[in-house]
Structure 1
Amino acid sequence: MSSAAVPTPVLHEQVLDWYAIAQRDLPWRSPDATPWGVFVSEVMLQQTPVARVEPVWHAWLTRWPTPADLAADAPGEAVRAWGRLGYPRRALRLHAAATAMVERHGGEVPGSHEELLDLPGVGTYTAAAVASFGFGLRATVVDTNVRRVFARLVQGRAQASPSLTRSEMDLATSLLPADADRARTWSVGVMELGALTCTARAPRCADCPVAELCAWRLAGHPAYDGPARKGQAWHGTDRQARGALLRVLREATGPVDGEDLARAWPDEPAQRDRCLDSLVADGLVEPLSGNRFRLPA
């Protein structure tokens, strides 16, 4: 089934009507949310569930309500406040982006897709999402949920390909409403549909507002025939070790002795040293004299 076979006006109406009723009450979707609040949410939500993000987002916006507030603080404080959201380099990218906003844009989140894309650590998705959800611009916003919805609805496949393709972007653009405000609501509506109904493991097709249009359902729900998707291990991995080391540094009020870090991951000293070196290389940890360490100043 191709995008040309999808009755786009009907598709728009049904998704938008569903979203008006089913949407979650999330603070970064509030009419009062600032572009900075939207920016912070988009970085935090990458590979992290909403339930874990929301309390940290509130804490960040209370402490750093503007980019200038964050840029004026040490990058290590961003890492500390990141807590256990995972992938803590995102905290450093947020701090670097805030610093660039102060240096290049008068302390404001830039309002064009091109300027957003030029910020450190900002990729195609984040730039489009902030342009759309923060400034109401018409932009093609494609995340994992959107890819899965369109793979099923239009292409008749159980899952999207492992990585984003040009054809997927073209398809998403072809389905985007012409009106900017409607396009913004459509984009977040499709994302919500993928998050709540057209889920990866247990899609609730009986509750889907566009089930009668879905190529995957009409084809009898054929199984995914692409490469196997590997789940991410955690126990005993370098990710767990890095997290244990960072937790000690986040909870400390000053520099931490290497011996204290050794106690945080005692059973695998070679792995611990490797992970500590990687944290230093990533800019998340700053080594000091006397075998001491701290979050970056």
Structure 2
Amino acid sequence: MDRRHLEYFLAVAEQGSFTRAAATLSIAQPSLSHAIALLERDLGSQLFDRNGRGSRLTPEGEALLEPARQALRSFQVARGAVRAVSEGGFGQLSIITNTLWAVDPLSLMIGRFRALHPHVQVTVADPGRRSEVLEIVRSGGAELGLVDGEPPAGLLRSKWLMEQELVAVLPARSDPVGPTMTIADLVPFGLVSTPEGTALRTMVDERLEAAGRPGEVAVETAHLASVVPMVLAGAGAALLPQGLAADAAVKGARLLRLDPPARASVHLLWREGRLSALARQFVDVATGGPTDGGR
């Protein structure tokens, strides 16, 4: 099994046809079929059910799908690390985090890093859940990840980045009582949040649970970018980190601090012993200090 065989396998899986995959790869179909046959022989399993209407993955092929993608991402990471050393700053860096932390603080971190390394290509993936960030970094699917809360030990190492205060965001014409609010005070406005399991919703649910008001979310949206527009339109109120909340205030929203205060700690994490030269430089730029040798 080699990188080329995995690329061919993924092309057939994505196209659903050897003919279309061969055209996409710009190779002859017999060459593609021969490569897949070698891969199947190497694995001792049939990966595709071939019929006149196309090719479908077998259960064994389905099992190979994600490991093949991760393996190719690992090849890309290795290539980027070598390029970073041999070509004076060229390379690739993969980061995974939810949209909440991609906006703040990751966007500023990438800005500082790109100012120092303008030829580096940075890709940021957006998982649905915090657990996906941890698993993808553990498996090597991304070099770096951002999560809120204390990262688990084991294969992962981490550095604290910042603490974000969570504030109440209300429509401009709302009439809250007092300079602060409790999470329970927000419930009558109708809370707007993202789906269960996402970073924002988890923080909201934890605080609602502590206040004895579990499940009190009035509007659930899969699009984080739509939370503030919904609040401004009068659909409800939201609980947001101070960075996003400040942007909402510029657009006309009303901000109030929570009582008791609510905060979220954001950490940068990576797999122990697996930091490339580029990733190590990114950690240094992001945290203002050197890493311990990529560990």
Shorter-chain TM range is under 0.3
TM-score (norm 1): 0.24
Q: Which has the higher helix share?
A: 1
Q: Which has the higher strand share?
A: 2
TM-score (norm 2): 0.24
